[in-house]
Structure 1
Amino acid sequence: MTTEPANFDYVSSTARIAVYDNLRSTPRVVEIPPAPTNEYITSIATQTYTLAREMGGQIPFTVVQEVSENFIHAYFTEVVVSVLDGGNTIRFTDQGPGIPDCGKAQLPGYSSAVEEMKRYIRGVGSGLPIVKEYFEGAQGSVVIENNIRTGAVVTISLKAENEREEAPLRQALRAAQRPASESGYPNEAAANGATNIARGVHAADSTSTNATSGPLMDSMPILSPREQEFIELFYSEGPLGVTEMGELTNTAPSTTHVTMKKLVALGLIEVPAGTKKRVLTARGRAVAQQL
């Protein structure tokens, strides 16, 4: 008996996002309907991020996107995302084949992605390690577990702002952004030392954009080739609508709309009042200059 190869072009199942205002009441449920794979993943990530932010959560979109992409390994079987703890805890659950080695899944280079999957994700074993790196130290936690019967559960949790203890390197990066008189350092030499620490982080760690811009996870999102193309066109052409962007990139209207929706969620583009066209935000221009 032969097994039909998995179809990674279209997801035929419905994903569900459960939003828990508290654990004493039934959660609100938002459904993500079947769609082409790229749109499906983006919809899960965008809706989850938006709902978490509405509750006051501070988990970045790029982190939510990275974990959402991992549902492809479960063939999108029984996808459920739970938003808890005021949006600062998000649990991603599926009933796929599971993760045989949860430890290795958090190390760079370990991946079960096959060629068909790599049309939609990088597939080089970088997703969960990036997420783990963001939550390192006192920022929060990443827990990977087996589901009750089959599948995997990934829980990411970020401590509330007033509960965080900023790591020394992040303190140095933050101090380097401020004048010496505001940095909390006793003198200019100490402030310059912090700046040099930050520059050292930049030289050794590709997750920084430059010595004064802070960690890349907060300022330089991971973009697909199409998303990069959109940003570059906004930078060179100025305000663009869905139709204009679709014509410039030869992209279907639905895909153009979904891509722009993600860029809005990332804070890279916006729709100024009184117009239907999108433009780059200040952050979007900074990102465009890095591409």
Structure 2
Amino acid sequence: MMRAQSTRMDTDRAEISVRIAVYPAGSDPEITEIAGADPRSATAKFTRTVMGKVRELGGEVPEEAVREVVENLIHAEYRGVVISVLDDGNVVRVSDRGPGIQNKERAVEFGFTGASSAALEEIRGVGAGLGMARTAAEKAGGALAVEDNIGGGTVVTISMVDTPRAVREEVPAARPAAPRYPGGVPRMNISERQQKVLITVLECGEVGPSTVADRLEISVSTAYRDLSVLEEHGLVQAHESGKRLISPLGEDVVEAIVSAWVK
């Protein structure tokens, strides 16, 4: 028999809720409904709860991957979210009833974002959430899959379970693409703030100093200088409109920066 457990909302303002379903081996599923007051606090609370269940079962799903996938739920407006913990804590499956993801391959690329301006105010994303989740999963020896949910929405699965040998043998190994930088992405002498400016350019697609200043809470003159430094390094390019676009080198540098965040 299924046991349903509910937690009280932290405040009367709590608006975001999800169900967490845990499937212990040989036991009935445990369903917990929890809520958060806003996207940032909800991401922390949901991640903490899921990871608690993962550790209780002895699983190895990395916390970084779970956190990035949970934060990404803002794009689905947290509609119909169920987070399942399976296979002794070695699989975490996050499903929603949002609008879905049409281009699933691009969704895990660094720099691809479908975030609305309202969402960006809440999560300060960098267009790298699912890319970071995949990187974290792969570094831990697992994998991340993005699929359509039955009836609409998306299912993201973080798995530390080995793929059966029969399946591996049926799928031909893909030939890796030649690296653009065989010796690694060139190191750039840019400050931490300038790294954030570069990430903001990637995230927004086309920006001027005012946008950067507003997003990073710095002065317009500082934003202008930082954009000029990035342009001198070939990381951003000036558009005829006067705004800046990220360059291919800039995209690769951002990916290297974000990958370094994943321990």
TM normalised by structure 1 equals 0.49
In structure 2, the partner of 1:230 is none
2:19 to 16, 31, 40: 16
Return the alpha-carbon distance in structure 2 between the equivalents of residues 80 and 140 of structure 1. 21
Tell me the CA shift for residue 89 of structure 1. 0.4
Structure 2 CA distance, aligned partners of 1:122 and 1:13? 18
SS in 1 for 2:101: coil
Q: Whole-Å Cα distance in 2 between the matches of residues 60 and 113 of structure 1?
A: 24
From 83, 88, 92, the equivalent of 1:90 is 92
Residue 63 of structure 2 is matched in structure 1 by 61
Residue aligned with 2:104, SS = coil
SS of residue paired to 1:150: coil
Distance 2:14 2:145 in 1: 26
Instruction: Please give the alpha-carbon distance, in whole angstroms, between the structure 1 residues aligned to 2:36 and 2:58.
Output: 28
Change (3 A) 1:40 1:136: closer
CA positional deviation for 1:118? 1.4
CA 150–115 in structure 1, closer or farther in 2 if over 3 Å, else same: same
Q: Which residue of 2 aligns with 1:38?
A: 40
Runs of 4 or more above 6 Å deviation: 200-204
Equivalence map 1:208-287=2 (5 Å): none
Q: Aligned to 2:117, what secondary structure does the other structure show?
A: coil
Count of residues in correspondence between the two structures: 156
Q: Which amino acid aligns with 1:77?
A: R
**Quick one: which amino acid aligns to residue 48 of structure 1?**
V
1:32–1:40 Cα contact (<8 Å) kept: no
Alpha-carbon distance, 1:158 to partner: 1.3
Task: Supply the AA of the counterpart residue of 1:127.
Answer: G
Rate the CA distance shift 1:25–1:54 in 2: closer, same or farther, 3 A. Answer: closer
Q: Pairwise CA RMSD of aligned residues?
A: 2.5
Deviations 1:25-64 (A, max 9, x none): 5310111125222222211111001111111012222221
Partner of 1:95, secondary structure, is coil
What corresponds to 2:118 in structure 1? 116
**How has the CA–CA distance of structure 1 residues 139 and 33 changed in structure 2, closer, same or farther, with 3 Å as cutoff?**
same
The CA deviation string for residues 164-206 of structure 1, in whole angstroms up to 9 with x for no partner, is: xxxxxxxxxxxxxxxxxxxxxxxxxxxxxxxxxxxx87987xx
Ranked by relative contact order (alpha carbons within 8 Å, sequence separation 6 or more), the top structure is: 2
Q: Calculate the TM-score normalised by the size of structure 2.
A: 0.54
Q: Does residue 48 in structure 1 map to residue 50 in structure 2?
A: yes
SS in 2 for 1:156: strand
CA–CA separation in structure 1 for the residues paired with 2:119 and 2:88: 33
**For residues 120-176 of structure 1, what are the alpha-carbon distances to aligned partners after superposition, in whole Å with 9 as ceiling and x for unaligned?**
32332211111212333881111100000110000001148xxxxxxxxxxxxxxxx
Residue 87 of structure 1 aligns with an amino acid whose one-letter code is G
Q: Distance in 2 between matches of 1:110 and 1:27?
A: 36
2:103 alignment partner AA: D
Q: Distance in 2 between matches of 1:125 and 1:66?
A: 11
Q: Residue 39 and residue 140 in structure 1: after superposition, are their counterparts in 2 closer, same or farther (change >3 A)?
A: same
Asked if structure 2 preserves the Cα contact closer than 8 Å seen for 1:16 and 1:81, the reply is yes
Corresponding residue to 2:149 among 147, 150, 164: 147
